[in-house]
């Protein structure tokens, strides 16, 4: 076999503040061959997620940090070239932690087969992937919305937020999205949100008061910072806050805590953290239900596809600058 | 009847920062007479509570603020002089919101009769009063400790904290108290805490690591600020944080939020606010159980009694300076 060349982004140093190209090393290497139980995959689409910023930091978290000199961790979908794993054959499409590279050698048991005939491949990184699972379990298992509840979600036009809001609508809630910019807000209204607040151009507290006259029953927080603090001032009694992320703070040297957290006391409210991996045994069940909603036209998906592995550092920055609408993916190859 | 003279502390202005004598007006007035359904009570002991600082602020909270010119709100226990309420007669001892004054006219239905033969009167403001109820319901209903759990409580030598720790011991937990000063820590060990950390003189994080080697399962927070932030770094998986108060922050112009709150996500943990009034229908049940523990020697109480109504502003400050050990009460009269 004429081994093609692989290109990889490796973590070169721990970022300080906003992530930048110099935090990575872009290298060319021969494509490795799969060992026993392993699979060689040609990467087609790479998932860009806010959580990646956290994986670049030293220190204890829900998974170990990416080591210096290691290929940057990323979820991705690709086509199998060569398999030494039973149940996976060349030509299969698989999703898994394939990393920021053109070719990945991965353990077969960590991969999940997907069907490009049922949904476009990027959807398996978005609504039918980790972000969709995060939205589904975070909202339903932690937020526990009841019909008639007011549900607010931040980062609402992102991969997780857009799904949170649509599932909340399916469950009969009054849904308010917070996003940056008129275009994103128009998108949210177009997929059925009852209201969308442009936090960059509106008075957030006043807008929350207007759109949540009975207070906020469930707040799904993807952003932290000032937005979390503003929503805390508008809680309904016994409100549930789902802590899913804090993208506004990931590039800050020192996280800002929610100054208004005593609203939890006044309102007998709770703030609970969630990590999607805890629900792995139920992903298939959730994917089935969400695929059904998609087929019925109740759950729409949108992906923001950027081409070219070599653009990875700058494309990742789109997340932290709030420039993406829908799931941000990097297209590495056509097929 | 020769009407005796009443002395009262009225709220003169909203405090800015630390409360001071000038925030109150000390006035002499005739003793009022009770109307229909009302009772005249001679106040014997006044409860001094951290929550009083919050009641002095303008704005929405779990109860309305004390109005400017109104007698400062306070729980108190006293002896009935004169009653127009069925079921209460002169000579009865009652507890209720009697205010910072020598004589109170109160609606009879807001008062609860207590028996000075069963427990000293100040205990009805502490372990058998609001602080005890707060500890009981906050720990058991919100913290939900299981035998073997590590339970940490801050403000541990205060009225609530000392009861939280002792109930956690009764439930089979490993109990660590955080308090300021060697005397308070010695007191905590003397009533059965497994460990006590003097946050003023020890490295709090290192001490938490030492005394909570498996992490913190339940944290009962009375103080907020730096201590809450330190405990957040030491959570066990699925930890429960009970937000009961934030005494370190009540006199600050701007509350400090917990910067390390993303530990809730990493550890799938929750932070939940509680207000004792929600459990009012179950106070009697809790008081019975706690009186039983007291009789069995499993639950000890300590009160810090300061004499003289006129010392009220300075005595209240003891709370915020951390100078009290056990329940702080102001003794107004002997009987």
Nearest CB to B261: which of A258, A262, A275?
A258
- Provide ipTM, 2 decimals: 0.88
Mean pLDDT rounded to a whole number for chain B: 95
| A28, A6 Cβ separation under 8 angstroms | yes
Cβ A273–B269 below 8 Å, yes or no? yes
Secondary structure E strands in A38-130: 38-47, 75-83, 93-97, 103-107, 112-114
pLDDT at residue B330, as a whole number: 98
Compute how many other C-beta atoms are within 10 angstroms of the C-beta atom of residue A213. 10
| A211, A242 Cβ separation under 8 angstroms | no
Cβ B257–A61 below 8 Å, yes or no? no
CB pairs under 8 A between A and B: 103
The answer to whether residue A253 neighbours chain B at the CB level (below 8 Å) is: no
Rounded CA separation A241/A229 (Å): 12
DSSP-based three-state secondary structure for B106: strand
Q: pLDDT tens across B175-184, in order?
A: 999 999 999 9
Q: Which of these ranges, A114-123, B59-68, B160-169, B320-329, has the smallest mean pLDDT?
A: B59-68
Minimum Cα–Cα distance from A268: chain B residue:
B273
Cβ B258–A257 below 8 Å, yes or no? yes
pLDDT over threshold 80, residue B60: no
For chain A, percent of residues with pLDDT exceeding 90: 90
Average pLDDT over residues A184-201: 97
pLDDT over threshold 90, residue A147: yes
Average pLDDT over residues A1-13: 86
Cβ B273–A278 below 8 Å, yes or no? no
Average pLDDT over residues A203-218: 98
pLDDT at residue B3, as a whole number: 59
Cβ B268–A263 below 8 Å, yes or no? no
Q: Which of A218, A196, A228 is nearest to A140 (CA)?
A: A218
The answer to whether residue A229 neighbours chain B at the CB level (below 8 Å) is: yes
pLDDT over threshold 70, residue A314: yes
Edge-to-edge strand list for the sheet holding A216-221: A195-198, A174-179, A150-154, A216-221, A235-243, A270-273, B270-273, B235-243, B216-221, B150-154, B174-179, B195-198
- Of the pLDDT bands very low, low, confident and very high (cuts 50, 70, 90), residue B2 is low
The answer to whether residue A276 neighbours chain B at the CB level (below 8 Å) is: no
pLDDT over threshold 60, residue A1: no
pLDDT over threshold 90, residue B4: no
**Which run of H or E residues covers position B204?**
helix B204-211
Q: Which of B317, B283, B291, B292 is nearest to B134 (CA)?
A: B283
The answer to whether residue B275 neighbours chain A at the CB level (below 8 Å) is: yes
pLDDT at residue A3, as a whole number: 59
The shortest C-alpha distance from A126 to chain B (Å) reads 21
pLDDT at residue B127, as a whole number: 95
What tokens does B61 get? 């909270």
Q: pLDDT tens across B145-187, in order?
A: 999 999 999 999 999 999 999 999 999 999 999 999 999 999 9
What tokens does A277 get? 């991996």
pLDDT over threshold 60, residue B1: no
**pTM for the whole thing?**
0.90
| DSSP output for B234-279 | TEEEEEEEEE---TTTTTSSSPPP-TTTTHHHHTT-EEEE--GGGG
Cα→Cα distances A198→A45, A183, A205, A206, A251, Å: 30, 9, 11, 12, 22
DSSP-based three-state secondary structure for A221: strand
A chain contacts of residue B255, beta-carbon cutoff 8 Å: 259-262
Nearest CB to A273: which of B246, B265, B274?
B265
Q: pLDDT tens across B222-271, in order?
A: 999 999 999 999 999 999 999 999 988 888 878 889 999 999 999 999 99
For B293-310, b/e burial (b = at least 16 CB within 10 A) is: bbeeeebbbbbbebeebe
pLDDT over threshold 90, residue B112: yes
Average pLDDT over residues B88-96: 97
Which of the pair, A270 or A246, is modelled with greater confidence? A270
pLDDT over threshold 80, residue A203: yes
Nearest CB to B275: which of A229, A265, A273?
A265
**Which run of H or E residues covers position A153?**
strand A150-154
Q: pLDDT tens across B28-45, in order?
A: 999 999 999 999 999 999
**Which run of H or E residues covers position A165?**
helix A159-170
The shortest C-alpha distance from B259 to chain A (Å) reads 4
Mutate to test the interface with A, among B60, B160, B263, B266 (most CBs of A within 10 A): B266
Rounded CA separation A190/A80 (Å): 37
**Which run of H or E residues covers position B137?**
helix B130-137
């Amino acid at each position: 076999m004429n081994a093609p060349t692989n290109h990889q982004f490796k973590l070169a140093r721990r970022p300080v503040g906003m992530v930048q190209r110099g935090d990575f090393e872009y290298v060319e290497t021969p494509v490795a061959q799969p060992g026993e139980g392993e699979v060689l995959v040609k990467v087609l689409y790479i998932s860009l997620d806010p959580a990646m910023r956290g994986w670049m930091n030293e220190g204890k978290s829900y998974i170990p940090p990416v080591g210096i000199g290691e290929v940057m961790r990323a979820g991705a979908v690709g086509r199998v070239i060569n398999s030494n794993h039973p149940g996976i054959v060349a030509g299969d499409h698989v999703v898994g932690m394939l990393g920021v590279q053109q070719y990945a050698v991965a353990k077969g048991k960590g991969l999940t087969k997907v069907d490009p005939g049922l949904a476009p491949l990027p959807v398996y990184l978005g609504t039918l992937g980790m972000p969709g699972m995060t939205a589904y379990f975070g909202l339903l298992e932690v937020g526990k919305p009841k019909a008639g509840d007011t549900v607010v979600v931040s980062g609402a036009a992102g991969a997780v937020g857009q799904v949170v809001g649509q599932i909340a609508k399916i469950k009969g809630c009054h849904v308010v999205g917070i996003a940056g910019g008129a275009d994103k807000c128009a998108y949210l209204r177009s997929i059925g949100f009852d209201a969308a607040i442009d936090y960059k151009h509106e008075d957030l507290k006043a807008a929350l008061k207007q759109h949540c006259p009975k207070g906020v029953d469930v707040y799904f927080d993807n952003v932290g910072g000032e937005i979390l603090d503003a929503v805390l001032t508008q809680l309904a009694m016994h409100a549930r806050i789902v802590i899913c992320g804090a993208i506004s703070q990931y590039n800050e040297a020192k996280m800002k805590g929610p100054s208004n957290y005593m609203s939890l006391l006044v309102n007998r409210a709770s703030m609970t953290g969630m990590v999607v991996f805890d629900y792995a045994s139920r992903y298939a069940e959730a994917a089935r239900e969400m695929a059904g909603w998609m087929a019925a036209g109740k759950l729409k998906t949108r992906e923001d596809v950027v081409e070219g592995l070599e653009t990875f550092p700058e494309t990742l920055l789109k997340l932290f600058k709030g420039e993406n609408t829908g799931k941000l993916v990097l297209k590495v190859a056509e097929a």
